[in-house]
Structure 1
């Protein structure tokens, strides 16, 4: 692709930002990471993502791409090096998009609600989060990753569940995902976190716990 300038405006503790980094690393693309402070947003971030003012923003030769799942698709379509992140087959692609959307629209809000809910409302929040996790458990049956044998769009979208959920559990003092209740999901978490690209990209559990506690 000739001369490329690839920059990522991101945040080390953001699961969304890490999605974009994982996709770049899977494809073997060198990029410059520009750390952002969301409590004091940089002129660059406001210029390139004026609509949501959020990370991540991918800058490819000066052109901004926003929203983490959109960024993953863009990376997959632009660079043919490395493994495919989305399946070639149109039906399989549409399924991957469906599950990525399910994770973002249903699972993540429910899990955040568990963290933010007051004692009285926590029970209901846990129930809702558990229901969505059961759906994912069922979807994983008979597969190593959501798309089959290799990490793809849905797994990268679900990285919040692989790591950040564990941190939420520790901070709130609950056990949402256990091997008894979610054997497949727990296996998936192990396989995902043991992948070399994922390992080198994601922060440690301890770093995240410390950051959340400090906040």
Structure 2
């Protein structure tokens, strides 16, 4: 899961050609995760499990990655997008998942701290 976060961090920290590489790397990781999930509803099959718990927490950062990267996860990884929606329908997730807009605002602050305009 650290690969997802690291690749996403490169998206919001990069510009120009580096950004294109970062976006491709991030999407490639999500595509691998889609392959691992297969036709299941969750990574553990039909039951929400450990991998789902860890990855859904990271998904609150995805909106910021999309905004700074100029892409939509749903376009390249529809299974991941559907999985995120399915997970957010769970009360345990909806009550605890950080607000994506707040995460975006935090990333804006991080970019400013790093001198990224």
- Tell me the TM-score normalised to structure 2 length: 0.81
**Structure 1 vs Structure 2 CA RMSD:** 1.8
Looking at structure 2, the residues matched to 157 and 114 of structure 1 have their Cα atoms a distance apart, in angstroms, of: 20
Question: Once the two structures are superposed, what CA deviation does each residue of 1:171-192 show, in whole Å capped at 9, x if it has no partner?
Answer: x1511412x4212111100011
Higher relative contact order (CA 8 A, sep 6+): 2
The correspondence of residues 166-185 of structure 1 with structure 2, limited to 5 A, is 166-170=63-67, 172-178=68-74, 180-185=75-80
- Greater Rg over alpha carbons, structure: 1
The correspondence of residues 1-215 of structure 1 with structure 2, limited to 5 A, is 103-104=1-2, 106-170=3-67, 172-178=68-74, 180-215=75-110
Looking at structure 2, the residues matched to 131 and 143 of structure 1 have their Cα atoms a distance apart, in angstroms, of: 19
Structure 1 residue runs of 4 or more that deviate by more than 6 Å after TM superposition: none
- Tell me the TM-score normalised to structure 1 length: 0.47
Looking at structure 1, the residues matched to 5 and 83 of structure 2 have their Cα atoms a distance apart, in angstroms, of: 17
The answer for unaligned runs of 5 or more in structure 1 is 1-102
Contact 1:162 1:192 in 2 (8 A): no
Higher strand proportion (structure 1 or 2): 1
Higher helix proportion (structure 1 or 2): 2
Q: Describe the shift of the 1:173–1:123 C-alpha distance in structure 2 as closer, same or farther (beyond 3 A).
A: closer
Contact 2:27 2:76 in 1 (8 A): no
Looking at structure 2, the residues matched to 146 and 131 of structure 1 have their Cα atoms a distance apart, in angstroms, of: 17
Aligned-pair CA distance for 1:161: 4.3
1:63 maps to: none
